[in-house]
Amino acid sequence: MKKYIWLLIIPLLLLTGCDKKITIDEIIHEDYNKLPENAYITINKEIEVFTEPNIKDIVDTNMELTDIKLDTETIGENTQLVEYTYEGKTSKYNLKYTVVDKTAPIFLSAATYRTIQIHDDDNPCDSINIADNYTSIPTCEIIGDYNYEQIGTYKVKYQIKDESNNINEKDLTINIVKELPSGGGSSGGSTDSGLSFSYLKSKYSEANTEFGIDISKWQGDLTVDNFREIKNAGATFVMMRIAVSNKPEEALATDSKYKNNIKNAKEAGLKVGVYVYNTAINEEMGKETAQYVLKELNGESLDFPIVFDWENWSKFRTYQISIHELNKTFLAFADEIEKNNYKAMLYGSKHYLGIMWEDKIKNNYPVWLAHYTSHSKTDYEGKYMMWQVCSDGIIPGIKGFVDVDILYK
């Protein structure tokens, strides 16, 4: 019998040529959609999108399985080839499973009170900012009755929904008026006089901490003497912007003061790190952002991981991406950075670290936390390597305000 099988295989190999290797397993394989008699394997729990469970944790079976993580990137019916051993025989099986999404969209910003002039059919949904873990473009509608043609106050709700029909709602009061109130008036005088670096050090110092600042072109031309003043004030490090892009269609540009800053900060004896303020919205752009930074660094030694700084949250809805797509963008950036012998770090505020960044990133990459609080300690519960405590710090060597940071060693 084997002789006849090979007579069938050889012509197939000749027909396909030498460019593609075909294994015998591809030509004469078992039906991977069938199991041996009396063998069984069933999924015993719902599989949530993006969870990547180990197969052994979610199946009931009388076979020995090779444990792998299930692909859970796509909701709906999925198939994954798994290897099993049953009664001494090893083979493979196309395991069918269903991935579900039970996470509702979230409101990034939405006014709870809107004043609209009579006859103006402005849709309140157009002014909110929302995001979903899976759906790139969640929908919004106003639930409840209101009349643009009649003066009055109406109690309604925003209702946002993803493609799996997960719903989130938020109360909205619409006030229809004859005329909109005129602008003007005083917002009150500023009471911000800044926080001295020495005060911040005395307030937040504890064991195994160092203090530093982060800068960009907005701090102007800084000489070696400026950085020496910064060091003499008690700072040990400077994080500096290396490049910036303010919208996805805008090419990255090198911060005009970066080269001067890193040269002079190092000469003054300060530790240095860099961050890239960017608006990458897919994996390709994440990788390209990393490549731009690496090219600009040109092998420059750093004391800290390279920071991915994504903050353009007010525009998130217009980018038509999901929260998960943004996380994959960071991972593409980090992968490219780390292939080139640097480390990657994520920058984020307490609020957005909590709602936009996945645990597998926050648990596996260092975090630079931004949280301005009057308390003696941030109440952010995740791990972080560095804490940006304020944006109105005052330190010798810098004109005007500067961000102040604490490093936890």
pLDDT number for residue 30: 58
Name beta bridge partners: 195.
Answer: 393
Domain boundary among 99, 115, 149: 99
What residues have CB less than 8 Å from 364, skipping those under 6 apart?
none
E-assigned strands of 321-397? 344-349, 367-370, 386-394
- 3 domain-assigned: no
Plot region of 184 (φ>0 → left; ψ -120 to 50 → alpha; else → beta) = left
Domain count, the chain: 3
- 5 domain-assigned: no
pLDDT number for residue 18: 47
- 209 domain-assigned: yes
**pLDDT tens digits, the chain, 409 residues: what are they?**
444 444 444 444 444 444 545 443 444 355 799 999 999 999 988 999 999 999 999 999 999 999 999 999 999 999 999 999 999 999 999 999 999 999 999 999 999 999 999 999 889 999 999 999 999 999 999 999 999 999 999 999 999 999 999 999 999 999 999 998 875 443 333 345 899 999 999 999 999 999 999 999 999 999 999 999 999 999 999 999 999 999 999 999 999 999 999 999 999 999 999 999 999 999 999 999 999 999 999 999 999 999 999 999 999 999 999 999 999 999 999 999 999 999 999 999 999 999 999 999 999 999 999 999 987 789 999 999 999 999 999 999 999 999 999 999 9
pLDDT number for residue 192: 58
The parent domain of residue 237 ranges over: 195-408
pLDDT number for residue 119: 94
Residues 89 and 171 in one domain: no
- 171 domain-assigned: yes
Residues 35 and 129 in one domain: no
**CATH number for 335:** 3.20.20.80
Domain boundary among 41, 68, 99: 99
Say which residue the tokens 């240095």 belong to: 272
What residues have CB less than 8 Å from 239, skipping those under 6 apart?
212, 213, 214, 215, 272, 273, 274, 275, 304, 307, 368, 386, 405
Q: Side chain identity at 370, as an amino acid letter?
A: A
Pairwise CA distance, residues 206 & 95, whole Å: 53
- 319 domain-assigned: yes
- 160 domain-assigned: yes
Instruction: Count other Cβ atoms within 10 Å, centred on residue 398.
Output: 21
Residues 207 and 270 in one domain: yes
- 21 domain-assigned: no
- 185 domain-assigned: no
Say which residue the tokens 């001295």 belong to: 196
pLDDT number for residue 31: 78
pLDDT number for residue 367: 98
pTM of the predicted model, to two decimals? 0.88
pLDDT number for residue 29: 52
The DSSP secondary structure of 249-312, one letter per residue, reads: TSPPEE-TTHHHHHHHHHHTT-EEEEEEE----SHHHHHHHHHHHHHHHTT---SSPEEEE---
Nearest to 303 by CA among 256, 270, 334, 327: 270
Residues 355 and 296 in one domain: yes
Residues 227 and 336 in one domain: yes
Domain boundary among 150, 177, 204: 177
Residues 290 and 389 in one domain: yes
Residues 225 and 121 in one domain: no
Residues 245 and 393 in one domain: yes
**CATH number for 159:** 2.60.40.10
Residues 355 and 328 in one domain: yes
Phi, psi of 191 (to 5 degrees): -110, 5
Residues 163 and 78 in one domain: no
Residues 130 and 273 in one domain: no
Residues 259 and 382 in one domain: yes
Contact, 139 vs 160, CB < 8 A? yes
